[in-house]
Amino acid sequence: MQMSYAIRCAFYQLLLAALMLVAMLQLLYLSLLSGLHGQEEQDQYFEFFPPSPRSVDQVKAQLRTALASGGVLDASGDYRVYRGLLKTTMDPNDVILATHASVDNLLHLSGLLERWEGPLSVSVFAATKEEAQLATVLAYALSSHCPDMRARVAMHLVCPSRYEAAVPDPREPGEFALLRTCQEVFDKLARVAQPGVNYALGTNVSYPNNLLRNLAREGANYALVIDVDMVPSEGLWRGLREMLDQSSQWGGTALVVPAFEIRRARRMPMSKTELLQLYQVGEVRPFYYGLCTPCQAPTNYSRWVNLPEESLLRPAYVVPWQDPWEPFYVAGGKVPTFDERFRQYGFNRISQACELHVAGFDFEVLNEGFLVHKGFKEALKFHPQKEAENQHNKILYRQFKQELKAKYPSSPRRC
């Protein structure tokens, strides 16, 4: 009897020791994990043990907090800015897709989420009090029903300074209250929205495109800033991540993503092979081909379409910047911001590319990735007030180039 009791005691002691050993090993593992400095090891860990997605309630609480702040005025005092209606957790070495849109053009977010596998940041402009309210209701509905929105999208709101956005009142059902899925939200938006050109709002308010661009790329290291009605090639985010992770040589380099436009948006090419097939029959052409050919010509499309097919994304050739080239690109480090004095239409992206050049960045065109704009860009007739603003931007651009000489006195480069 005493022998049996002694055996049981020894067994329990052994079991307790084993449990303590397991606990110590777990603590040791966590300690080692916290000390990991290699990005590869951390990536492997989070691949198997991804962070828990934020709950719907957490996202809604963030939305309420951002709106309750009352926003902040921009440098001009003309616009009210609400940062972080939606937030996303982002690896500091990640590549973020930054874009901007009027409320009606948020329809395009669905297609961007399908093609871009990484984090996405969108700045939304609401020109009227009613649009500001619709934007908050949309953010509420999208965060409730779209897991991808909760996991990968940051959303900011800008409206004229005389308006304030409000927290959606749950006691007022509204048009979006009965929706139950993400697709239903986008379908409903399609029925109530009037998508068009962001800067052709039909109001007395100027579309602050450069303020919106800066807000969307704020806090990002590497960013690809595009228009919301453009679609990236399939796998572009993954290709960029692999290329940037393998080398640190890309500081001071703008990696140019060639941009095209397609006649009919029903069939958006996914690969370069598909793009070239449509290019050869005239369904796809270089971006701005009918509106401002010199604005994209330095990309050297004839050279790009004849590059040999490759499986890995990489820079294919260097292109010296020349006025008025306004490429779409990925760059990290001390990238100049967009000058927020440029609003509406004209010279808003050219000015930033010009400063990028003067600041010492080189431009290298990627071999496989691309962007496609939905529809051919054609010349538009604006309200006389908008035409006057375009002329104002032309004068401002001349002034801007003179200012760069003082800002970069030691740079041999000029626009």
Q: Is the pLDDT of residue 316 over 90?
A: yes
Residue with tokens 């965060």, as numbered in its chain? 143
Out of 194-208, 244-258, 386-400, which region has the weakest mean confidence (pLDDT)? 194-208
> Does 264 or 79 have the greater pLDDT score?
79
Q: Is the pLDDT of residue 168 over 90?
A: no
> Does 36 or 217 have the greater pLDDT score?
217
* Mean pLDDT for the chain overall: 85
Average pLDDT over residues 167-188: 74
Q: Is the pLDDT of residue 200 over 70?
A: no
Radius of gyration of the chain (CA): 25
Average pLDDT over residues 311-315: 94
Out of 162-171, 199-208, 318-327, 380-389, which region has the weakest mean confidence (pLDDT)? 380-389
- Per-residue confidence (pLDDT) for residue 267, from 0 to 100: 83
- Among residues 175, 174, 196, the alpha carbon closest in space to that of 108 is found at 196
Structure tokens at 325: 């080239």
List C-alpha distances in Å: 387 to 266, 295, 325, 383, 392: 32, 19, 22, 6, 9
- Per-residue confidence (pLDDT) for residue 89, from 0 to 100: 79
> Does 178 or 320 have the greater pLDDT score?
320
- Per-residue confidence (pLDDT) for residue 101, from 0 to 100: 96
Which segment, 2-11, 241-250, 374-383, is predicted with the most confidence on average? 241-250
- Per-residue confidence (pLDDT) for residue 45, from 0 to 100: 31
Cα within 13 Å of Cα(182), Cβ side: 14
- Per-residue confidence (pLDDT) for residue 198, from 0 to 100: 54
Q: Is the pLDDT of residue 44 over 80?
A: no
Q: Is the pLDDT of residue 243 over 80?
A: yes
Structure tokens at 21: 């050993």
Instruction: Round to whole Å and give the CA distance between 177 and 167.
Output: 14
Sign of the C-alpha dihedral, residues 261, 126, 119, 333?
positive
How sure is the predictor about 208, in pLDDT bands with cuts at 50, 70 and 90?
A: very high
For 225-237, what is each residue's pLDDT tens digit? Answer: 999 999 999 999 9
For 48-67, what is each residue's pLDDT tens digit? Answer: 334 445 677 787 788 888 88
> Does 354 or 189 have the greater pLDDT score?
354
Out of 60-64, 240-244, 333-337, 363-367, which region has the weakest mean confidence (pLDDT)? 60-64
Strand ranges, E, within 35-178: 72-73, 79-86, 95-102, 120-125, 153-160
For 69-112, what is each residue's pLDDT tens digit? Answer: 899 999 999 999 999 999 887 787 899 999 999 999 999 999 99
Average pLDDT over residues 334-340: 96
* SS3 per residue for 166-227: CCCCCCCCCCCCCCCCHHHHHHHHHHHCCCCCCCCCCCCCCCCHHHHHHHHHCCCCEEEECC
How sure is the predictor about 34, in pLDDT bands with cuts at 50, 70 and 90?
A: very low
